[in-house]
A and B are shown apart, each in its own frame.
Chain A
Amino acid sequence: MKSKRLTNSIGSRELGLILFIILISIIIDIRNPIFLTFSNIGDMLTDTSILAILAVGMMLVIITGGIDLSIGSGIALTGMIVGLTVARYKNISPALAILMGTVIGTGLGALTGLIVSRGKVLPIIATLGMMNIYRGITFLISGGQWVDAYEMPESFKNISRSSFLGINSLVIFAVIIYIIAYYFVNYTRTGRQIYAVGSNKYAAEISGIPINKITWLVYTIQGALYGLGGVLWVSRYASAQNDSAQGFEMMVIAACVLGGTNINGGSGTIFGLILGSLIIGIINNALPLVKISPFWQTALQGLIILAAVILNAAIAKNREKQHLMRGEE
């Protein structure tokens, strides 16, 4: 009975998000009819793919009660390393470049995970530190220079340009990762343990769940995803810059909290995450279409996160009140 009520309330939240997506799409389309054309929707999905991929890792981290602020810098660092490599060794195969980025990212994420799980550093402080360390290293290895489009081999740029059945490869990457993630969090033991760690650490420890290992694992997965994201980013924008993806973590966190991931840990769904990422993608895509200055973007992101967190708190409070009232009956 109780679990049924819970799924009902989660379902209504996602229904609300879908209605919201339809509503803003109509409003934006009235302001600028380009918005709901096939090619623009395709562009929007392609642009949102990297964000959506990173949101999976961020959701896992947030479910354990942590946060990762280092992902924007992580993208820049792995992107820069891979960008410099393909600029020098032009005959590297795209698959090898992707593998290289993912491996480097996994290493970075594993280090962050070790600091959080074994070093017992608060996630926000550890990842704030890593954010600056990665960004600093990116500047040092690049010597302040960019890797430009003409320095990169065509095969590398084609990673993000190729398509399969008319669907851009970035979108395909995202879909594959979401299918794996859906299976992982819902049907594997480790996936369920991630939720257990976040909802009640003490109970999880007593039940014999290896908290340190799970904590380490989520940051490592996040690392692998930003490693992959870094390669895709550099391929997509055909340049590796020192200030790539600055503030990107805010967008990803916004997608998570909008999608209903509880910032205090313990809950979050893959389906909600897709909707949250879509909303952020639509807003980013629509700002230039409805002629809002890009300078509004930073403030808007902050406002969205704030609104989503307040909304989540209000929903939780309301649910609690309902439970109490039922209890009185």
Chain B
Amino acid sequence: MKKDFFRQWEFILFIILIAVNIINASLSPYYLSVNGILDATTVFMEKGFLILPMAFVMILGDIDISVASTMTLSSVIASVSYKAGLPMGYAIIVALIVGTLCGFLNGYLISRWHLTAMIVTLATMSLYRGIAYIILGDQAVSSFPQWFSYLAQGYLGSTHIPFSLIVFAVFAIIFGLILHKTAFGRYVYAIGNNAEASRFSGVDVNNIKLAVFTITGLMSAIAGLFLTSRIGSSRPDIATGYELEAIAIVVLGGVSPQGGIGKMLGVIISFFIIGLLRYGMGLKNVPSQMMIIFIGILLIVAIVIPNIIESSGARRRLNTEIKGDKSNAV
């Protein structure tokens, strides 16, 4: 019953994606062209780098709410190093290292100290953003070199394909292959289904968790760099609430927050649904607070509805079983 439902889930998401495109096209006459849709993706592409590792974390049955803070800290570190005279290339490397370390600290505390992912990442969410505040206070850094803005705003050669979309596609393929085609990916599912049983079957649970959280840190740093490139400045309060959107996208994509269930394809389709929906609402000048409310509701509804369907299905099955027993007895 459950499996059938999730087998269809990607298909349902695909239909929703088409519906979103039709709605957007009716809002703006310029939207429905290949170039229009490609352009629209540049507005939200940085979140894509969050959802890929977040899918791994949530299939593990854990959660990481420090991703947005890691983004901000990496972005602030990169911009401050650049301002201090470091060439931008090196500043980027420093930011990537900082992000990786942030993720490593999360993973270390969760896997070695056996602390709950929720409370660890809740604490580091404050800690990482707090460090960004200590570094920059209420200031902002802008004016980066010309080539840095190419990351999020550039197009591939003379075509109309955004550079950020290409980077995302490459990462999406890599993450999808790792999750579905490698032993590592199978272990991630196994841990999400039953961590204790996996441990007894010889799966290196601790190191896999450590690896997933560390990669999440690295990917958050990449997301932070793309965001900085897109908005052209860095402040300690950028990317607030991104963790909510990343979690909402992953859950809507069919990943169960209890772990063990979900597919990368669903997560990627759901990423484009939310992104294009947000873009469409922007075309209609819907206030951003409305969007926040909408995403919050979507997150809860996306979990509640499958739960209700499942429990009513279970009840129906139970009822028919009871009836079957009775008829047998008669």
Binding site for B on A (CB under 8 A): 67, 69, 115, 119-122, 124-126, 128-133, 135-137, 139-140, 247, 250, 253, 257, 263-264, 293, 295-303, 305-306, 309-310, 313
Contacts and interface: CB of A to CB of B under 8 A. Distances in A.
Interface of B: 63, 65, 109, 113-116, 118-120, 122-131, 133-134, 137-138, 241, 243-244, 247-248, 251, 257-258, 287, 289-290, 292-293, 295-297, 299-300, 303-304, 307-308, 311
Contact of B251 (A125, A131, A305): A125
Contacts of B258: 122
Contacts of B300: 115, 119, 121, 125-126, 129-130
A119 B308 CA distance: 7
A312 to B, nearest CB: 9
A299 B127 contact: yes
A136 B115 contact: no
Contacts of B295: 132
B244 A295 contact: no
A124 B57 CA distance: 15
B137 A125 contact: no
A309 B120 contact: yes
A301 B65 contact: no
A305 B119 contact: yes
Contact of B287 (A122, A131, A140): A140
A309 B119 contact: yes
A133 B133 CA distance: 26
Given A133-B297, A136-B289, A136-B292, A250 B126 contact: yes
Given A119-B308, A129-B248, A299-B126, 17 more contacts: A119-B300, A121-B303, A122-B258, A124-B63, A125-B257, A125-B299, A128-B247, A131-B296, A132-B292, A137-B289, A296-B130, A302-B123, A305-B123, A306-B120, A306-B127, A309-B123, A313-B114
A125 to B, nearest CB: 6
B58 to A, nearest CB: 10
Contacts of A130: 296, 300
Nearest to A296: B134
10 contacts: A67-B118, A128-B244, A135-B292, A136-B290, A293-B137, A296-B133, A299-B134, A300-B130, A301-B130, A310-B113
Given A122-B258, A125-B303, A263-B116, A136 B296 contact: yes
Contacts of A309: 115, 119-120, 123
A302 B137 contact: no
B131 A299 contact: yes
Contacts of A297: 130
Contact of B241 (A120, A132, A139, A310): A132
A124 B113 CA distance: 21
Nearest to A298: B130
B118 A302 contact: no
Contacts of A132: 241, 244, 292-293, 295-296
B177 to A, nearest CB: 28
Given A140-B289, A306-B127, A257 B119 contact: yes
A121 B297 CA distance: 12
B257 A298 contact: no
A252 B91 CA distance: 37
A19 B256 CA distance: 45
